[in-house]
Amino acid sequence: MESIVSIRSLAKDHAGEKALRGISLEVPDPCLFGLIGADGAGKSTLMNILATLSDPDSGEVRMLGLDLRKGFPRIRDDIGYMPQRFSLYQDLSVLENLDFFADIFGIRGKAKAERMDHLLEFAGLAPFKGRRAGLLSGGMKQKLALACTLIHHPKLLLLDEPTVGVDPVARRDFWTMLKSLRAQGISLIVSTPYMDEAALCDSLALLHQGAVIAGGSPAEMLAAYPYRLYRVEAAPDARISTLNYPGDKPPPPGFELIYPSGGSLHAAEKPGQAGDPLGRLRLAVPEAASATMLEPALEDCFFALLSGKTANAAGGA
């Protein structure tokens, strides 16, 4: 089976900076593919190229069996793109927005009515179909945008940070919708800065400063975690119960990195260390009262991956 998207050494400059430095990716079909990375990692630049909105400077992209440069008009018939910003007509109603996109794609008559009913139902927007898009909540706006990108039965959806600025409940609903689309056999490429969302993807690519620095399924990435992870906490009755660790301070001896996470510290111990980890941690964090072994989450994987990268390049996450 051919990949739905296949990228080879893609490079693109944006505003004088190297936004993408020769990345290569394979997205199998079907797949819920997550693009993970901090702001400025190149996620949106990549999304823009895949959405056929800007040309790559070099490299090759094949999508849906077509070359991106030559086949983009055909590709547009089969992709749905949801940009980072809400970009529907705020002064038109939910129904009018759907209707407009249906017309653009030449969907008419009974097929149109059925498709619109289905999508309104799917997005949970049926009770709000007469409401102006501008008056919807953030979460509902995103659901409407998703519904509009689905109107023409696309084979591939490109969603650029669809849940940024959306409340947690609406985020969960949104991802339930994405999962159900994936179950229907639609492929999705979703960029997100949220690690809990990354865990829901079939496959991931971690972008950092315009390069893919790691990839694979969430399980594979967790399995590849090289360190022993501890959660470091202060005594419950301590004066300062929330521990912090300055980013520019070197980690305690025998540890690769240490960072705050959910009110406690996460400390990644280098392999083959002997002796009491808490004792060594206390050298740097005197308030530390306990160090509990912990299964790494995706977030810990990415911190580990990024720490190796930021060592030789300034800036970053």
Partner 1 sequence: MRPSEPSRSSNLFRVIIGKEFAQLRRDKTSLRLMIMVPMMQMLLLGYALTTEVKHTPVAVVDHDGGPESRSMIRAVSNNPLFRFRGNAASEADLREMLDRGTVKLGLIIPQGFSRQLESATRFGQGGQGPATLGLGPKGGGAQLQLLVDGQDANSAGVARGYLSAVLNQWAMHRLGARLEAAGIRLDQLIPLSTDTNVLFNPLLKSTWYMIPGIAVILVTMVTALLTGFSIVREKEAGTLEQLMVTPLKPIHVVVGKAVPFFLIGIVELMVALTIAQLWFHVPFRGNYLTLIAFCACYMLSSLGIGIFTSTVARTQQQALFIIWFFLLFFMLLSGFFLPVENMPHWVQVVTLVNPVRWFMYVLREMFLKGSGFAELWREGLAMLGIGFTVFTFSVLKFNRKAG
Give CA–CA dist 163/161, Å, rounded: 6
Q: Considering the complex, what minimum distance in angstroms separates the CB of residue 104 from partner 1?
A: 5
Q: Is 189 in the site for partner 1 (CB under 8 A)?
A: no
- Span from 2-10, 34-42, 76-84, 290-298 in contact with partner 1 (CB under 8 A): 76-84
Which amino acid, 269? Answer: E
- Does position 90 bind partner 1 by CB under 8 A? yes
C-alpha 191/C-alpha 34 separation (Å) is: 6
Name which of 53, 50, 51 is nearest 23 in CA terms: 50
Question: Is 89 one of the binding residues for partner 1 (CB under 8 A)?
Answer: yes
Q: How far is CA 34 from the centre of its chain?
A: 5
Nearer to partner 1, 100 or 259 (CB): 100
Least distance (Å) from partner 1 to the CB of residue 47?
11
153 binds partner 1 (CB under 8 A): no
**One residue of 36, 61, 81, 120 binding partner 1 per CB under 8 A:** 81
Work out whether 88 is an interface residue with partner 1 (CB under 8 A). Answer: yes
| Contact indicator for 245, 261 with CB cutoff of 8 Å | no
Q: Which of 40, 83, 215, 218 binds partner 1 (CB under 8 A)?
A: 83
SS3 266: strand
Which one among 8, 60, 71, 100 touches partner 1, defined by CB under 8 A? 100
* Strand segments (E) across 88-219: 156-160, 187-192, 203-208, 211-216
14 binds partner 1 (CB under 8 A): no
Nearer to partner 1, 157 or 284 (CB): 157
What distance in Å separates the CA atoms of residue 269 and residue 173, rounded to the nearest whole number? 37
Whether the CB-CB separation of 312 and 214 falls below 8 Å is answered with: no
By CB under 8 A, residue 104 contacts partner 1: yes
Cβ neighbours for 202, distance < 8 A, ≥ 6 positions apart:
31, 32, 33, 182, 217
The Cα 46–Cα 42 span in angstroms is 6
Within residues 42-61, the interface with partner 1 by CB under 8 A covers 48, 51-55
- Would you count residue 17 as binding partner 1 (CB under 8 A)? no
Q: How far is the CB of 140 from partner 1 (least distance, A)?
A: 17
Q: Does 73 bind partner 1 (CB under 8 A)?
A: yes
CA distances from 227 to 166, 185, 195, 257, 307 (A): 34, 37, 19, 10, 12
85 is a site residue for partner 1 (CB under 8 A): yes
Three-state DSSP class for 231? strand
Say whether residue 106 binds partner 1 (CB under 8 A): yes
Nearer to partner 1 by Cβ, of 55 and 167: the residue is: 55
Q: Shortest approach of partner 1 to residue 88 CB, angstroms? A: 7
- Going by C-alpha positions, the residue among 261, 208, 151, 163 that lies closest to residue 20 is 208
- Does 77 bind partner 1 (CB under 8 A)? Our answer is yes
Q: Is 122 in the site for partner 1 (CB under 8 A)?
A: no
Q: Which residues face 80 on adjacent strands? A: 157
**Residues at the interface with partner 1 (CB under 8 A):** 48, 51-55, 73, 76-77, 79-81, 83, 85-92, 96, 100-101, 103-106, 132
